Structure formats: C-alpha cells, structure tokens
Amino acid sequence: MPPEKDWRAPPDEAGDDALQYSDIAIGYLRRNARYRTDYARALAKVKRGAITADEATATLVRRWGISFHAAPSSPYDRKLTVARPDLSPDNVVLAPAVPGTGAEPAFDTRTLGAVRARMKIGDRLHLILADRNGDEHLWICGPPNQPMAIMLPIGSDSLIRLASAERLYRRLKGIATGPPVLRPPPFRRSHLLTLLQVLDGHIMGASRRELAVALIDRNVRDYNAAEWADCRERKRINRWITEAVELRDGGYVRLLRGG
C-alpha cells in the first residue's frame, strides 16, 4: 500500500486522463482497513514463499471482487489491478472456439502489443494491455495457441461487453482503440475524486468543518456555531462522508459497472 499523505493534497488517482471506473474503485477499496489487512497478510505469505503472487491475488479477487496484484517487488501500483470479469464488464474473456465457427486456427498473443502484466489467476491467464487511452483487461481461458472466441454473456452488461470486445478487436487489427467504454465523464470523475479526499480526511480524523473549509468554501471557518449547525456546507459534507464510506465498504463494486 502507498504511504499516507496529507488528505488535503489531491488523491493519487487525480491527474490521470485515462482514469477508468476500475481505477477509482480500487482507490476506495485500498482505504478499507479489512482489505488492507488481507492484502498485507497475502503479501507476507508471498514474501515467505508460502504462496505465489498470482495465488495471493486470486484469493483477494475472489473475496473482494478486485485487488492489486500482490507482487513483492511492486506492492503498490494502481495500474496492476485485477477485477472479477463477472463484476467488471469491460474485461474481455477469450475461450476456445466451437469448431466450425470460423475462428482463426490459432490465437497469437504477440498480436496484442504491449502487455503491462501477466497473471495466472486460477486456470485463466489475465493480461493487462497497455493503452494510453486506458488499459484493457483480457482473460484467456485455456491455451491461447488454438482457435479462440470472444465470450459475450447475455445479460444487463452485454452492450458494455460488446463495446469492450470491439476495442480489443481494433487493437488486434492495428486500428486506434479509442477511449474505454467505462471511463467516467468529467463531472462524475471530479465528484468521485473529491469523495476520496473526504474519505482520507475522515479516516485521518479531520472534523466536518475542516473538510468543508478545504473542499467547499474557506469562509466556513468564520461561521459561528449556530451558522455552522444550519449551513448547507455542513449538510453537504455529511452527505459526502456517508457516500464515501459506503463506497469504501462495498459500494465500489458498483463502480466496476460504471455505476
């Protein structure tokens, strides 16, 4: 985990034009004390050689839905995240193709271009494909040197999965991929990052007035007790704290679907 810093400073996630919902989701989860404990224990087991980094990551992903890769050489890299594909529809899943469906004789992983990370999660290979517009996450079921097909489960997220599959297809053909489908619009992105600051300040013991002064209006510091008790800034901070804590304690899963 990264070292703590002044909550008034922009969160680590700020300043990244390619920020996706999954990048923000892991930001909330890494502020969850129980996850941090689980991650620290997993990392300790990896360092002792009791389990591999991939095994540790698989356990964390099953339990939390998303996790950092538990690699001792890189204990914190917010781009090295893995999410369960059933929870994160922008993950693309490849599986052996049904014979006679027209798939190419063998899928060549060299056509994927730059790969940021490879992780063996259970019986699947998870690849993070580097892209300046936003990384792509690919799951490969079975050996890739065989005819492969893109899995598109029928469900409420089918259109998101289809758009993500198209982005992968464009990559394979050497065409510009464009932005990922689950990248938050500017207002939503700004609000979620502000809530991360609220959460950091709340965790570090900042008062509601201190949060309001830093994040809403400096004039709040001059309010008398009666003005502060009834002001809209206090009510807004209360709403923000409630929302931020809920996202940390489980609501982050909604962000994986762009919620």
Q: What pTM was estimated for this model as a whole? A: 0.90
Last residue of a domain, one of 134, 156, 182: 182
Residue-averaged pLDDT of the chain: 91
Q: How confident is the model at residue 74 (pLDDT cuts 50, 70, 90)?
A: low
Write down the pLDDT at residue 34. Answer: 96
Last residue of a domain, one of 129, 160, 182: 182
Q: What is the mean pLDDT of residues 111-132?
A: 91
Q: Please tell me whether residues 156 and 206 are part of one structural domain.
A: no
Q: Which long-range contacts (CB under 8 A, 24 or more apart) does 223-226 make?
A: none
Nearest-angstrom CA–CA distance, 60 and 122: 12
Would you say residue 211 has pLDDT above 80?
Answer: yes
Does 150 fall in a domain? yes
Which domain does 156 fall in, by range? 85-182
Q: Please tell me whether residues 115 and 159 are part of one structural domain.
A: yes
User: Other C-beta atoms within 10 Å of 145: how many?
Assistant: 11
**pLDDT digits 0-9 by tens, 161-196:** 999 999 999 999 999 999 999 999 999 999 999 999
In total, how many domains does the chain have?
Answer: 2
Q: What is the mean pLDDT of residues 117-121?
A: 90
Q: Please tell me whether residues 177 and 226 are part of one structural domain.
A: no
Last residue of a domain, one of 155, 182, 209: 182
Q: Please tell me whether residues 120 and 170 are part of one structural domain.
A: yes
Q: Please tell me whether residues 192 and 174 are part of one structural domain.
A: no
- Cβ atoms 197, 7 nearer than 8 A: yes
Does 68 fall in a domain? no
Would you say residue 132 has pLDDT above 60?
Answer: yes
Does 238 fall in a domain? yes
Two structure tokens written together for 179: 């932005």
Write down the pLDDT at residue 9. Answer: 80
Does 133 fall in a domain? yes
Write down the pLDDT at residue 129. Answer: 95
Alpha-carbon Rg for the chain in angstroms? 21
Does 136 fall in a domain? yes
Nearest-angstrom CA–CA distance, 228 and 97: 64
Does 2 fall in a domain? no
Write down the pLDDT at residue 96. Answer: 93
Percent of the chain with pLDDT over 90: 73
Does 27 fall in a domain? no
User: Other C-beta atoms within 10 Å of 50: how many?
Assistant: 11
Would you say residue 75 has pLDDT above 60?
Answer: no
Would you say residue 3 has pLDDT above 80?
Answer: no
Does 227 fall in a domain? yes
Q: How confident is the model at residue 107 (pLDDT cuts 50, 70, 90)?
A: confident
